[in-house]
Amino acid sequence: MPFSDLSFREKSAWAMGALFIAVTAFYLFDVQPISWREGLAPPVDRHFMKIMIATIVGSIIIQSLLASRNPKEADTPADERERLALARAGNLSGIILGFGSVAALMNYLVHANGDLLFHGILLSLLVSTIAESALQIYFFRRGA
């Protein structure tokens, strides 16, 4: 198994990164952001519900499968190296989320479209979550 030598948290980062890449790709295909340049965005409700359900169900399934393969390791608290890697990844992904949210707010000043603002912030959240998973993997591999 290619992932058998990884820690639980690194496996979780890989799995959640893959889930959020899939959810983000589905979201982008569903809302078609090409029209966003003109200040047009589809209503939020239908798209938001789809990705929230996919994210919640996918996360539960992924974490349950990972924890069932090695319950003892899943219950073990993060060691010092893992805590540092998680903190650094969270800090940097927060910067990405902040940058994307400010960009969405600036776009709102131009277009005054609340749906577009929501989609911009949601996309920022998805991208920052992918970045957090990628950064966790990087820091775990690098040794924080």
Q: Is residue 2 part of a domain?
A: no
Q: Is residue 1 part of a domain?
A: no
Residue 51 in contact with residue 106, Cβ under 8 Å?
Answer: no
Q: Is residue 97 part of a domain?
A: yes
**What pLDDT was estimated at residue 74?**
73
Mean of pLDDT values over 1-23: 83
Please count the structural domains in the chain: 1
Q: What is the pLDDT of residues 95-114, one digit of tens each?
A: 999 999 999 999 899 888 88
Q: What is the pLDDT of residues 21-47, one digit of tens each?
A: 999 998 888 777 666 666 666 667 777
Q: Is residue 3 part of a domain?
A: no
Q: Is residue 98 part of a domain?
A: yes
What is the extent of the structural domain holding 53?
8-142
Query: Full-prediction pTM beyond 0.75?
Result: yes
